[in-house]
Amino acid sequence: MRLIYFAWVKAMTGTAEEEVEIPGEVQNVTGLLDWLEARDPKYARAFSDRGAIRVAVNQEFARPGDPVTNSDEVAFFPPVTGG
């Protein structure tokens, strides 16, 4: 699975991009966030306010219950501020 981080989520995790292999029990967006939080306290801090985190799976906005697999590209970022 390819993980990408943007804006302050990238600053807090200290990671722009990484490849990970998720275990079988991680099946959806919420499970992935929980798994990443447990891996590293930096991620736990970055994701502590779940309401402030937006997730895209394969470049489409995703909801907490949406499925994820090891072949997906998943991005984490704050609410957008363009324009």
Partner 1 sequence: MIKVQSEDFNVGAELSALTKGNHKIGGLAVFVGLVRDLATSGDISAMTLEHYPGMTEKLLARIEDEARERWPLEESLIIHRHGRLEPGDQIVMVATASTHRQAAFEACEFLMDWLKTKAPFWKLEEGPEGAKWVDARESDERAKERWQKVGRKVAGSES
Question: Which spans of this chain sit near partner 1 (rule: CB under 8 A)?
Answer: 4, 6-8, 11, 56, 59, 75, 77-83
Return phi, psi of residue 32, to 5°. -65, -45
Return phi, psi of residue 62, to 5°. -120, 155
User: Shortest CA distance to 55 belongs to which of 1, 16, 4, 2?
Assistant: 4
Minimal distance in Å, beta carbon 3 to partner 1? 13
Nearer to partner 1 among residue 9 and residue 36 (C-beta): 9
Nearer to partner 1 among residue 23 and residue 61 (C-beta): 61
Minimal distance in Å, beta carbon 26 to partner 1? 22
Q: By the 8 A CB rule, do 9 and 46 touch?
A: yes
Nearer to partner 1 among residue 6 and residue 35 (C-beta): 6
